[in-house]
């Protein structure tokens, strides 16, 4: 399908990339093959999103809860992440994409931390879409870390507690300086937020598709945007 030229393109799209394991199981493959295929899909979608004029794309790459998976699966995901970071440098260069990581990166191995830092540094001057990847990320953990920093600043006299408003809190989050998502897309049909961007999604439009993430494509993305254009965004007010 092709989008009507009068369609409103969301400024910021967030994605929950769900269904990699189920995609692999349906084909009699190990779960790691689903994650690998999911990375290939993500590369294509990053390019499609950049071409569509979406300014920010945020994806849930690895949650704070994902450490609970088997040691073998976590190990395979770490290897895949190492490989994908190298690939992402080329994708970012080819599409003028700036990359930012959110989450607590310091639980990862040193080489992964260095890879994350390099990605951010090497793409910081790109002027196209901002691609945000949430790794070792959890919405509650993000808020906890923000409150800890905010409390320390208040105790040190850097911040007046009586001056704290929503903007202040937002400035202490990992996503400081990034607008809240307009549209959240979740694949594989699950109807939950899974501890993702809990502060930022307060007034985001949510679109859920039964499509498993490795099968997600431009048509699926366009269908989500069509549905987004049918929503009446009132932000708690009345029109």
Are 23 and 215 spatial neighbours (Cβ–Cβ below 8 Å)?
A: yes
Q: What is the DSSP letter of 174?
A: T
Q: Which residues are catalytic?
A: 18, 66
Q: What is the DSSP letter of 175?
A: T
Of the candidates 187, 143, 224, which has an alpha carbon nearest to the alpha carbon of residue 18?
187
Q: How far is CA 92 from CA 77, 84, 125, 197, 225, in A?
A: 21, 12, 11, 23, 23
Question: Using only C-alpha atoms, what is the Rg of the chain?
Answer: 18
Contacts of 51 (CB under 8 A, 6+ apart): 95
SS3 (DSSP) at 207: strand
Contacts of 30 (CB under 8 A, 6+ apart): 24
214 C-beta neighbours (distance < 10 Å), count: 24
Measured distance CA(180)–CA(173) in Å, rounded: 12
């Amino acid at each position: 399908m092709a989008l009507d030229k009068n369609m409103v393109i969301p400024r910021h799209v967030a994605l929950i990339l769900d269904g990699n394991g189920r995609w692999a199981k349906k084909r009699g493959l190990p779960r790691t093959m689903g994650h690998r295929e999911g990375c290939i899909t993500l590369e294509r979608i990053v390019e499609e999103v950049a071409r569509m004029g979406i300014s920010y794309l945020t994806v849930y790459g690895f949650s704070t809860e994902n450490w609970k998976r088997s040691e073998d699966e976590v190990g395979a995901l770490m290897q895949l992440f190492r490989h994908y970071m190298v690939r992402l440098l080329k994708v970012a260069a080819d599409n003028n994409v700036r990359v930012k990581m959110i989450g607590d990166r310091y639980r990862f191995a040193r080489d992964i931390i260095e890879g994350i830092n390099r990605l951010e540094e090497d793409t910081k001057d790109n002027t196209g879409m901002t691609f945000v990847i949430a790794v070792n990320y959890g919405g509650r953990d993000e808020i906890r870390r923000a409150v800890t920093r905010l409390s320390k600043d208040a105790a040190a006299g850097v911040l007046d507690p009586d001056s704290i408003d929503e903007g202040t809190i937002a400035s202490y989050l990992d996503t400081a300086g990034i607008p809240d998502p307009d549209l959240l897309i979740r694949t594989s049909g699950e109807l939950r937020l899974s501890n993702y961007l809990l502060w930022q999604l307060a007034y985001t439009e949510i679109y859920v598709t039964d499509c498993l993430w490795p099968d997600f494509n431009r048509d699926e993305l366009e269908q989500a945007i069509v549905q987004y254009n049918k929503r009446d965004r009132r932000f708690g007010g009345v029109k």
